[in-house]
Amino acid sequence: MTDRPLTRNIGPDRTPTDLAAYELNGGYRGLRKAITAMSPADCLEMVKESNLRGRGGAGFPTGLKWSFVPMGEKAGPGHKYLIANADEMEPGTFKDRLLMECDPHQLIEGMIVAAYTIQADVAYIFLRAEYFDAERQLRAAIAACYEKGYLGDNILGTDYRLDMYVHSSAGRYICGEETALINSLEGKRANPRAKPPFPQVSGLWGRPTIVNNVETLCNIHHIIERGADWFQSLGKGEDSGTKLFGVSGRVKNPGCWELPMGTPVREILEVHAGGMEDGYKLRGFLPGGGSTDFLTEAHLDLPMDYDVIGKAGSRMGTGTMIILDDHTCPVGMVKNLVEFFARESCGFCTPCRDGLPWSAQVLDDIESGNGLPEDMATLQKQARFIGAIGNTHCALAPGAMEPLNSAMKYFREDFERHIEGKHCPYREPENRP
């Protein structure tokens, strides 16, 4: 049977795992090993070797990210911070909720080890507001950990101390951007910050800070406990470990599964998600959430590896796919996405704040039958304008352009049919199942 460390405590009924059950199943062994038998440098080395890459969407090597945190004297006086990015809001993404609601201790253990590695003394879980169950689970789990000596002073009898807090957010997708998240955690407007300096050097309250995705952190103590080689061996392809993959849309069995990295798209879609609903055909899919480029049937046999999906013209993102079927209007879908991103813009930089509503307006015109032939050129121009990281202050708007850009590539005739026919062909009854 495949080793699935992340969901080993998560049963089909999704009953939350309490501390006793978690410990019984080997919980906090990784922490004990790290904190009593390994130096922070050892831990960092092991995470680096494991080739763990960030599970939040960007896929940045976790060990490398941590290695930028100044250690010892270099850090200067004051706190260092570890933050779990639990602000899961990427459209079509539903994996961190599962991890937090069903196995809160796994996240906490991962966080303590991560914090120990970078020698952070304060940790936050930045949780989206609507995850009430997760908040209850996490708060209870943290309280249990303080009681048990996994948090607070002298953790497991060592000199190491760590405080951990849950911050329940107040909405806004942009808080998922790590520097916007930091601003929000400081009680400010969640405008992303200019980089450099990166949070590793100047983050929360201007102090060294690491922000990692929930799923990323859930892996840490498993790596420490079982070794980098073990972790690497979990992946089927180039990337290490397992990952929570999900499928939503018109499939028979939408859901979320822990599978080896490198699992082919087709297997995820056809085996785990049960294939398309009867009467629906696949037209394309966003491989990792709402801000990734469309891929099509031609890409079904690709393994879900960061670089492979990247080379195919998209991104693995969060690994939760959204399926476009043949009865759903691609223009409408892209319009939904662009309107979403326009609404979620923080309002800081022009291409995002004003460019996205502009694109949304053009898409709305096209979708509602008011498009003009030159609108395609306008959209192309906007996609160029907004679409490159560096053109904008953060990655939100370029992410929004990914589905639009690729939709214009793969579904161009749909756009043209809207414009020429002056209506949305998918609204006709024969196109409804």
Partner 1 sequence: MATIYVDGQAYDVKDGDNLLQAILGLGLDLPYFCWHPAMGSIGACRQCAVVQYQNEEDTRGRIVMGCMTPVADGARFSLQGEAAREFRSTIIEALMLNHPHDCPVCAEGGECHLQDMTVMAGHRDRHYRGRKNTHRNQYLGPLINHEMNRCITCYRCVRFYNDYAGGTDLSAQASRDHTYFGRQTDGVLESEFAGNLVEVCPTGVFTDKTLVNDYTRKWDLQSAPSVCVNCALGCNTMPGERYGKLKRIHNRFNKAVNGYFLCDRGRYGGNFVNSDKRLDYPGLRQADQTYKAVGQSEAIERITEHWGDGRAVAAIGSPRASLESNYLLQKLVGAGNFNPGLSDREFKLIDSICQILRCSKALSPSMSQVEQADAVLILGEDVTNTAPRLALSLRQSVRNKATELGEQIGLQYWQDAALRTLAQDRNSPLFIAAVADTRLDDIAEQTVSLAPDDIARLGLAIAAQLDPAKTTGNGLDDPLRELAATIAAALKNARQPLIVSGTGCQNLAVIQAAARIAEALTNTERTAMLSYCLPEANSLGGALLCASGNYPSLAELTERAATGQIETLLVMENELYRRGTAAEITALLDGVTQLVVIDALDSRTLSRSDIALPADSYFESEGTLINSEGRAQRYYPVIPAKAGQQASWQWLAALGDKLGAWETGAYRHFDQVTSDCAADHAPLAEIVKAGPDHHFRDHGLKVPRQPHRYSGRTAMRANVSVHEPKQPIDGETPLAFTMEGAQPSGLMAFSWSPGWNSNQSVHKFQSEVAGPLVNGCPGVRLIEPGEGLTDMSAAVEPAAAGEPGSLLLVPLYRIYGSEELSVQSPAIAELAGNAFIQLHPSDATRLGVADGDGLVVNHIEAPSLEVRLNSSLAVGCAGFPVGYAGTENLVAGQRVTCRKAANWTPLRADSAAVIATDQGGGHV
Partner 2 sequence: MKQANLISALSDRELADIDKEIAHAPYRCAVAIDALKIVQQYRGWVSDESLRALANYLEMSAEELEGIATFYNLIFRKPVGEKVILVCDSVSCWIKDSDKITRQIAEKLGIGLGETTPDGQYTLLPVTCLGACDCAPVLMVGEKLHKNLDGDKIDKLFSAGDSAVVKLGEEP
Beta strands (DSSP E) in 101-203 are 122-127, 163-168
Binding residue (CB under 8 A) for partner 2 from 16, 290, 303, 317: 290
Q: Which does 350 bind (CB under 5 to 8 A by kind): partner 2, partner 1, none?
A: partner 1
**How many angstroms separate the CA atoms of 303 and 323, rounded?**
17
Backbone torsions φ then ψ of 111, nearest 5 degrees: -65, -40
CB of 32 to partner 2, least distance (A): 26
Q: Which does 381 bind (CB under 5 to 8 A by kind): partner 2, partner 1, none?
A: partner 1
Q: Is 217 in the site for partner 2 (CB under 8 A)?
A: no
User: By C-beta, is 261 or 286 nearer to partner 2?
Assistant: 286
419, two tokens: 């414009």
Buried/exposed 207-243: b ≥16 CB within 10 Å, e otherwise: bbbbbbbbbbbbbbbbbbbbebebbbebbbbebbbbb
Q: Which does 255 bind (CB under 5 to 8 A by kind): partner 1, partner 2, none?
A: partner 2
**How many angstroms separate the CA atoms of 103 and 8, rounded?**
9
User: By C-beta, is 310 or 433 nearer to partner 2?
Assistant: 433
Taking residues 150 to 189 in sequence order and writing x for each that binds partner 2 by CB under 8 A, - otherwise, the string is -------------x-x-xxxxxxx----------x-xxxx
Report CA 130 to chain centroid distance, whole Å: 17
Binding residue (CB under 8 A) for partner 2 from 30, 54, 57, 92: 92
**How many angstroms separate the CA atoms of 255 and 267, rounded?**
13
Strand 122-127, strand 163-168: pairing? parallel
- Element housing 291 (H / E): none
User: By C-beta, is 133 or 365 nearer to partner 1?
Assistant: 365
End-to-end CA distance of the chain: 39
CB of 227 to partner 2, least distance (A): 32
Q: Which of residues 295-324 bind partner 2 (CB under 8 A)?
A: 320, 322-324
Q: Give the orientation angle of helix 396-410 with respect to helix 412-421, to 10 degrees.
A: 80
User: By C-beta, is 269 or 323 nearer to partner 2?
Assistant: 323
Cis upstream peptide for 197 (omega within 30°): yes
Q: Which of residues 350-409 bind partner 2 (CB under 8 A)?
A: none
Q: Which does 170 bind (CB under 5 to 8 A by kind): partner 1, partner 2, none?
A: partner 2
CB of 348 to partner 2, least distance (A): 11
Q: Which residues, listed in sequence order, are joined to residue 257 by a DSSP beta bridge? A: 245
Q: Which residues, listed in sequence order, are joined to residue 255 by a DSSP beta bridge? A: 247
User: By C-beta, is 43 or 190 nearer to partner 2?
Assistant: 190
**How many angstroms separate the CA atoms of 119 and 310, rounded?**
33
Q: How many amino acids of this chain bind partner 2 (CB under 8 A)?
A: 53
Q: Which does 187 bind (CB under 5 to 8 A by kind): partner 2, partner 1, none?
A: partner 2
Decide if 255 contacts 247 (C-beta within 8 A): yes
Q: What is the binding site for partner 1 (CB under 8 A)?
A: 172, 189, 193-194, 196-197, 201-202, 205-206, 342-351, 353-355, 357-358, 361-362, 365, 378, 381-382, 384-385, 388, 390-393
Q: Which residues, listed in sequence order, are joined to residue 389 by a DSSP beta bridge? A: 392
Chain contacts with partner 2 (rule: CB under 8 A): 88-94, 96-97, 128-132, 163, 165, 167-173, 184, 186-190, 205, 246-250, 254-256, 286, 290, 320, 322-325, 328, 332-333, 336-337, 340, 344, 346
